[in-house]
Amino acid sequence: MQEIFVAKDPKSAYKEAVLKYGSKLELVSAKQITLEDGKLHCEITVEVDEDAFWNSCDFIPTNNEIDLQEEIEVLKSKLANINNDTVKTEDNGVSNRVKNLFSEKGISIKWLDNVYSSLLGSHILNDDTLLVSHILEEINDSLKVVKESLDKPKIIMLVGPTGVGKTTTIAKLAARYAYMLEKPYKVAFINLDSYKIGAVDQLGQYADIMQIEHLAVNSIESFMKALHDFSEHDIILVDTAGMSPYDTQKFIKTIEYVNSNIPRDIEVNLLLSATVKYEDMDDIYNNFSFLNLNSIIISKFDETKHLGTLLNFMLLYKIPMSYFSIGQEVPDDLLVASKEYLLERFIGDLDG
């Protein structure tokens, strides 16, 4: 069972959940919300044991309420079956073959069924080439990218799980902004990763090579001071601690940095590996989404030829992509995100 808690900050909301259920709960998601008074609060959702949930309630559901819930579930099941049967009535050898092709490459049946339902009665379902082209066009239309915009000073923070390549990607971004564009931008590093041994040294080495100022911080106060010290810089790149989607304490610490009184615009980018399986992508996104993500940067393109799972994730969540990290070389292996690059790689997998 899931329950929502709302408080002025994530730490307080999580504390309320623990007070009610103890430590036997799982953080499902957290996000910022604006209440009627116009103030920002944090809303977290936790998963708890069903018995614990009902034991904490002031009432026990009546038999009528239980019967009604069961009837609703039966009705949902019947509606789902009707929808599936509608699609199946139009299925033939061509449409099944194409659906299986995309499904085997990682695209969800549910998403494909939605595309097929819009083609009921169309001759496209009887033509392999037309059907594949139509699905690829639907994928292209559904994908989102965010344009690179450096027209005003900003803070760019990278978040993500351990080992996804945040520090290397920040170095690539720094080199791009400082040396590879028509206008050279003044760039600085801030490192919040005090958990990983060597993280500060690695970013510091990149900073020394590129002659970029660099500070490591471990508190909100030192973070605010670093921002003040770098107030004349065009872009401040912030490296954060890699964390498991279930590491509540690190999440709470990170959101405290994001919600501090930051003097300029901040963009929070989730770094996601192209090699991760869908279930893990789902967990990673849902748990990082409370940071009000601006975009996703995709890393490790060079470590897989199969991008259907990644593509399926982007189709279902519709969050824009900003950059692709396609190798280990700094600064060369970084591309501004494009639908064309992702689709070309996916089509190559389809042909294979």
**Model pLDDT, residue 87:** 46
Residues 105, 97: Cα–Cα separation, whole Å: 13
Query: Considering the chain, what is the average pLDDT of its residues?
Result: 82
pLDDT digits over 116-140, tens only? 888 887 889 888 899 999 999 999 9
Q: What percent of the chain has pLDDT over 90?
A: 35
Instruction: Give the residue with greater pLDDT, 282 vs 9.
Output: 282
**Model pLDDT, residue 245:** 60
**Model pLDDT, residue 322:** 96
Instruction: Give the residue with greater pLDDT, 5 vs 249.
Output: 5
Mean pLDDT confidence for 272-293 = 87
**Model pLDDT, residue 327:** 87
Q: How confident is the model at residue 12 (pLDDT cuts 50, 70, 90)?
A: confident
- Residue 46 CB neighbour total at 10 angstroms: 23
**Model pLDDT, residue 86:** 46
Instruction: Give the residue with greater pLDDT, 57 vs 164.
Output: 164
**Model pLDDT, residue 352:** 60
Residue 19 pLDDT greater than 90, yes or no: no
**Model pLDDT, residue 11:** 73
Q: 3-state secondary structure string, the chain?
A: CEEEEEECCHHHHHHHHHHHHCCCEEEEEEEEEECCCCCEEEEEEEEECHHHHHHHCCCCCCHHHHHHHHHHHHHHHHHHHHHHHHHHHCCCHHHHHHHHHHHHCCCCHHHHHHHHHCCCCCHHHHCHHHHHHHHHHHHHHHCCECCCCCCCCEEEEEECCCCCCHHHHHHHHHHHHHHHCCCCCCEEEEECCCCCCCHHHHHHHHHHHHCCEEEECCCHHHHHHHHHHCCCCCEEEEECCCCCCCCHHHHHHHHHHHCCCCCCCEEEEEEEECCCCHHHHHHHHHHHHHHCCCEEEEECHHHCCCCHHHHHHHHHHCCCEEEEECCCCCCCCEEECCHHHHHHHHHHHHHC
Residue 90 pLDDT greater than 70, yes or no: no
pLDDT digits over 187-245, tens only? 999 988 655 545 557 778 888 889 999 998 888 889 899 999 999 999 999 998 777 66
Is the full-model pTM beyond 0.85? no
pLDDT digits over 168-190, tens only? 999 999 999 999 999 999 999 99
Least confident of 198-207, 262-271, 314-323: 198-207
**Model pLDDT, residue 66:** 54
Mean pLDDT confidence for 279-304 = 88
Residue 99 pLDDT greater than 70, yes or no: yes
Instruction: Give the residue with greater pLDDT, 217 vs 83.
Output: 217
pLDDT digits over 26-71, tens only? 777 777 777 777 777 778 888 887 777 767 665 455 555 555 566 5
Instruction: Give the residue with greater pLDDT, 281 vs 88.
Output: 281
